C-alpha cells in the first residue's frame, strides 16, 4: 500500500503527536480517527481566497472578445470562483450532517468579496499565471535516495505557476492572513519548498522559486469619526491605527474642514494590505526538501505503527486553538466523540490508498 503524506499531516505530527493521533492514526481513540464535522473557518476562507485570486490572475479573456484581458470579466470570474469554493465547502459539511445557519454563507461571501475587491483594485496581476486545479502527487525518495519510494508519496495543492522571461518556472501561492508574515519566516517555510519539489518532480522542469502572495484578511473601513468634546459634535479621528486608506482620511478631513495630520497620512500610506514575496531557491534546496520528506515519512511510519507513542501537550501554547482540546485529556468516551466528530478510518487503512506499482 502506498501511504499519502501531506503538508498538513506532516506539520501536525511535527507540532503535536497527540493531535496527529486524533486526526490520523486513532491510537488514542480506540482505533478511530476524528474529523471535525464543521470545516474550520480559516481553512474554508483560505480555500476560497486561493481559488478567487488565482482565477483573477489567470484570467485571459473570452474567446468572443478581441481584448486579451477585460477587468470586468476577470472580476466576475474571481467572484464566481470564490462562491464556488464556499458552496463546495458547505456541501461537504452538509454531507457530514452540518448545515450553516441561514445567512452565514452569504455573510462570509460578502466579507471576503469586499477584501477581494480591494485586492483587485490595488494588486499588480502576475503575468502568465496558469491555475492548477488538481493535486500534486509524487512518490518521495527512498531512504537511500537512489530511487522513488513505493511506500510513501507526497500530495499537495498549489494555486498555480508562472514562467518568467528566461523561461524559468515559479510556483505561485496565495495566502489569506490575519497578520502578514515577516519575510524571513516566509523564506524559512518548508511548505513552499515541498510543493516546489513535487512540482519539479511532476514536470521534470526546474522550479527556480515560489511567489508567495499574502493578503491581510481585512478590507479598508471608512475613516473614523470621534466626539469633539460634546456627544453631538464629531470630527475626523487622527489615529494612526485606523484601518482606512489615506485618501479616505483626507477626504473626510476636507469634508469637515479639518487639516489632515501629516503623520496620520504617512502611517496610513505605509500600511501593508498585501505583499508579494519572491523566494528563489539556492542550488540543492529542492534536493534537500526531498531528504526532509524522507525524514517526515520515517516519523509518520513510527506513529502509524504505534512504535512511537504520541506525546501530549508538548507545546502547551498551541492547545487553545486545537480542534481536539475538549477530548485530549480523556478520549475514551465514544458517545462524546461521536457528538463532536465524524469517526473515520485511520489514514493508513483508508481504501483510497493505492497499491504500489
pLDDT in tens, the chain (357 residues): 689 999 999 999 999 999 999 999 999 999 999 998 888 899 999 999 999 999 999 997 544 444 567 899 999 999 999 999 999 999 988 888 888 888 999 999 999 999 999 999 999 999 789 998 788 999 999 876 668 888 999 999 999 999 988 888 999 999 999 999 999 999 999 999 999 999 999 999 999 999 999 999 999 999 999 998 777 899 999 999 999 999 999 999 999 999 999 999 999 999 999 999 999 999 899 999 999 999 999 999 999 999 999 998 878 888 988 999 999 989 999 999 998 899 999 998 875 544 333
pLDDT of residue 60: 78
| Residue 13 and residue 300 in contact, taking contact as beta carbons nearer than 8 Å | yes
Residue where the block lists cell 527556480:
208
pLDDT of 357? 30
pLDDT of residue 178: 95
CA dihedral (72, 78, 82, 83) positive or negative: positive
CB-CB contact of 303 with 20 (8 Å): yes
Separation CA 357–CA 2 (nearest Å): 9
Q: Provide the greatest CA pair distance for the chain.
A: 78
Using CA atoms in the order 181, 186, 188, 190, what is the torsion angle rounded to 10 degrees? 110
Secondary structure (DSSP) of 76-114:
HHHHHHHHHHHHHHHHHHHHTT--PPTTHHHHHHHHHHH
Q: How many CA atoms lie within 13 A of 286 on its CB side?
A: 20
The answer for residues whose C-beta is within 8 angstroms of residue 103's C-beta and 6 or more apart is none
What is the DSSP-derived secondary structure letter of residue 330?
Answer: -
What pLDDT does 131 receive? 92
Q: What is the pLDDT of residue 100?
A: 87
Beta strands 207-216; 274-280: pairing state: antiparallel
The pTM (predicted TM-score) of the whole model is: 0.88
- Count of helix runs (H) and strand runs (E) in the chain: 11, 12
**Separation CA 297–CA 343 (nearest Å):** 24
d(CA 260, CA 238): 8
pLDDT score at 146? 66
In 3-state terms, the chain is what percent helix, strand and coil (to 5)? Answer: 45, 20, 40
Amino acid at each position: 500500500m502506498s501511504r499519502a503524506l501531506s503538508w498538513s499531516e506532516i506539520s501536525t505530527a511535527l507540532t503535536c503527536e497527540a493531535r496527529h493521533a486524533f486526526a490520523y492514526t486513532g491510537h488514542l481513540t480506540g482505533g478511530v480517527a476524528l474529523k471535525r464535522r464543521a470545516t474550520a473557518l480559516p481553512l474554508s476562507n483560505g480555500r476560497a481566497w486561493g481559488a478567487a485570486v488565482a482565477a483573477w490572475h489567470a484570467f485571459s479573456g473570452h474567446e468572443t472578445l478581441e481584448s486579451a484581458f477585460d477587468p470586468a470579466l476577470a472580476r466576475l470570474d474571481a467572484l464566481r470562483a470564490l462562491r464556488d469554493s464556499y458552496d463546495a465547502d458547505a456541501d461537504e459539511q452538509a454531507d457530514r450532517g452540518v448545515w450553516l445557519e441561514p445567512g452565514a454563507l452569504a455573510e462570509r461571501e460578502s466579507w471576503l468579496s469586499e477584501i477581494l475587491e480591494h485586492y483587485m483594485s490595488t494588486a499588480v496581476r502576475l503575468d502568465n499565471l496558469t491555475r492548477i486545479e488538481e493535486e500534486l502527487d509524487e512518490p518521495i525518495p527512498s531512504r537511500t535516495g537512489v530511487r522513488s519510494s513505493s511506500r510513501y508519496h507526497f500530495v499537495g495543492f498549489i494555486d498555480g505557476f508562472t514562467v518568467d522571461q528566461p523561461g524559468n518556472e515559479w510556483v505561485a501561492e496565495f495566502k489569506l492572513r490575519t497578520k502578514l508574515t515577516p519575510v524571513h519566516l516566509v523564506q524559512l517555510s518548508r511548505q513552499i519548498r515541498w510543493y516546489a519539489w513535487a512540482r519539479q518532480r511532476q514536470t521534470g522542469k526546474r522550479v527556480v522559486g515560489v511567489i508567495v502572495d499574502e493578503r491581510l484578511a481585512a478590507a479598508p473601513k471608512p475613516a473614523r469619526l470621534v466626539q469633539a468634546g460634546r456627544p453631538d459634535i464629531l470630527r475626523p479621528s487622527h489615529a494612526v491605527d485606523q484601518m482606512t486608506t489615506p485618501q479616505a482620511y483626507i477626504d473626510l478631513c476636507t469634508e469637515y474642514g479639518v487639516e489632515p495630520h501629516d503623520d496620520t497620512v504617512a502611517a496610513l500610506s505605509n500600511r501593508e494590505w498585501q505583499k508579494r514575496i519572491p523566494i528563489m531557491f539556492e542550488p540543492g534546496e529542492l534536493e534537500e526538501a526531498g531528504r526532509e520528506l524522507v525524514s517526515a515519512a520515517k516519523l509518520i511510519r513510527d506513529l502509524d505503527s504505534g512504535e512511537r507513542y504520541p506525546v501530549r501537550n508538548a507545546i502547551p501554547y498551541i492547545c487553545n486553538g486545537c480542534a481536539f482540546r475538549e477530548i485530549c485529556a480523556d478520549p475514551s468516551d465514544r458517545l462524546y466523540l461521536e457528538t463532536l466528530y465524524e469517526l473515520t478510518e485511520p489514514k493508513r487503512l483508508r481504501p483510497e490508498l493505492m497499491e504500489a506499482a
